[in-house]
Structure 1
Amino acid sequence: MEFLEMDSVIFSEDKGFQYFYRIIQSVMLDIVIVAGARPNFVKIAPLIHKLLREEKINYTLVHTGQHYDPLMNDVFFEDLSIPAPSYHLGISGGSQNKQTSEIITGFEEFLKDSNAKAVIVVGDVTSTMACSIVTKKLHRDLIHIEAGLRSHDRAMPEEINRILTDSITDYFFTTSREAGANLVKEGIADDRIFFVGNIMIDSLVRTLPFIQRPEVYRTYSLEENNYYLLTLHRADNVDNADVLTDILRAVSESIGDRTCIFPVHPRTEKMLRGTSIFHEIKNIEFIEPLRYLEFLFMQKHAKAVITDSGGIQEETTFMNVPCVTYRTTTERPETITTGSNELAQDLPALKAFLNTLEAGEWKTSSIPPLWDGNTAGRIVQKLHAIYSI
């Protein structure tokens, strides 16, 4: 039998392939990326596009199923050109605590049989927190994209998810200097914090050329910069019918004859069914959730957006569309200090901001640092550096 020699290691030809395979594997990084809800899909898309061209990083996409409405998940894989997930945990419905327990159980079954060295989680949804716990209990590296955001309101489920996730994260990728400062205050070492920018903006930059005018634009005879777009989904705003209808009345009273388009989250629709608001308000049009590319079109051409969503604060800032966020706090202060967003903490403030918009006045805004569409590339570069690949 002929023998080959390399670096003083002697092996037979029939074992040569196995040797080289082990060498190749030693310089490869296997990671898992977790997605479970609409914001996750938007944030993972640019990273996956980069990783598809990577030779040294293998990824596996796990979809927890946290959002189970087809308009809230499957359609995003199509609109954002993301390959179908390799694994689907099939979690859907129920309370957040029920979802948490089911995601933990399902993700543990998957991860314990995986060779992945690291798990990447994004944002602040239930899936992010639950999969983070499993990751560390199984002794894998945890990487959090969009780490360090803080609203300083622990009544928000998302704030609890952020705090718990960051408390056990190994490597932190942040959207802003403020987020990094939050982590430092919590005792995180500087060398584990990487200011890479906002990966959601990567998706926005990539998809803006392909946004699609939805049918509702024609149905309601909408004109550019002459309608409002409304989204509400946070528990504080939609879980009490009186609170929800008071918000809708405040919007209706403040926008005059203009039309407000309200794509209704399934959770919100359920709450509205027992009210008379559909018949009472004439200038708010209640529609089904839009596809991502359609929703971006509606944002881009709106006079303003009224929302309680974190991601929409970012998207409107990049597109320089006025935004009024109806919440008591925001974890994205740069959208206010630098961007086009304002925080309405109560109904009088909401009405005041809408009156300002109706008067044709709004502040001058700009785009925060590193919101440039290149965040995914910076993340991949950092992965190379962290894992020496």
Structure 2
Amino acid sequence: MKIIEGGVTAAKGFEAASTAAKIKYQDRTDMAMIYSQVPCECAGTFTTNVVKAACVKWDQQVVKSGAKAQAVIVNSGIANACTGAEGFGYCKDTADAAAEALGINADGVLIGSTGVIGKQLPIDRIVAGVKALAEKKNDTLANGTEAAKAIMTTDTCEKQIAVEIEVAGKTVTIGGMAKGSGMIHPNMCTMLSFITTDAAITKEALQKALSDDVNDTYNMISVDGDTSTNDSVVLLANGMAENEVITVDSESYKTFAEALHEINEYLAKKIAGDGEGATALFEVTVVGADTKETAKTLAKSIVCSNLTKAAIAGHDANWGRILCAMGYSGAQFDPEKVDLFFESKAGKIQIIENGTAVDYSEEKATEILSQEEVKAVADVKMGSESATAWGCDLTHGYIDINADYRS
């Protein structure tokens, strides 16, 4: 596997574009398009929130139908959530506009929206935006990067990555872009991720690879404990690499799944580290658990603890908050056997051993916790299973952003 420069336009046959439709923002691009030169197999995973945006319902319908997908239209600024039949109708209007502009089937147009809940989309601007996107699309790195920027809301930077792998002598490329900064919580978190690949792969294998990996990547991140109405991860495969078709039982499936994991983990960590108001990516690994589920539960509980997140913001090795979060997680463990370490590029330090504090340097701990990426490792000494979760620190900036988000 080789990480290469690029995002959604890295794989053969994929193009992208961005435009300023002025849906909410007046001073930046706010619509993006991903287009494949040929129809694609598509897979998707979506929010577990009972309240689902119209675009989520639309995309679930497309993925379930088995239709070949050929385009994705994404807008930022308005989420098209809690908008009733009118909002769902706007999804059809958007798909119809894309079908006309691109000469493709409307049944294969996927849609993503992010932004304020409860407002109706200005469909005239959306339709005009689709036409502009169709005219501007190409397969350049620059267009892919600009598309990644156009889907941001409170994000501070675009998020994209691409990798290459070998499948039976053929080079296969996978690229992706994502957005997410607030309303991020395990179990699909407002988080959007769009992944493209030129791999020839069955729909069954594509969906399995995505569904299995989401549990260890996007479902292991949290910024604020709010699971969004719009969370979507969509994966398109157009087969233009002309490799031997990947099936669930083929030897190349594992290679593909590992590459997809690289994409998803990178994007998930970028989302967690770019949490609203955040100054640090906070990574938590639990080792020595009796089961994978125990490790996941403990890691998630620590990374979701607001008190722990505030301590990370203050560069304070307040380890009692971590042990407390583990204790109310619902997982069973012996707190008197727990070892805890903090580490970053500034070094590694042990904070507790067998549930009680060791003689450590507060100054060194503060130095370690003052870095842009901070890691906590908890060893529960129960077995050989482990899991990692990602989040961020909690600062005053989070309140500043969300207190007046609609304005």
TM-score class, shorter-chain normalisation, is under 0.3
Instruction: Give the strand-richer structure, 1 or 2.
Output: 2
Query: Larger relative CO (CA 8 A, sep 6+): 1 or 2?
Result: 2
- After TM superposition, the score normalised by the length of structure 1 is 0.27
Instruction: Give the helix-richer structure, 1 or 2.
Output: 1
- After TM superposition, the score normalised by the length of structure 2 is 0.26
Greater C-alpha radius of gyration: 1
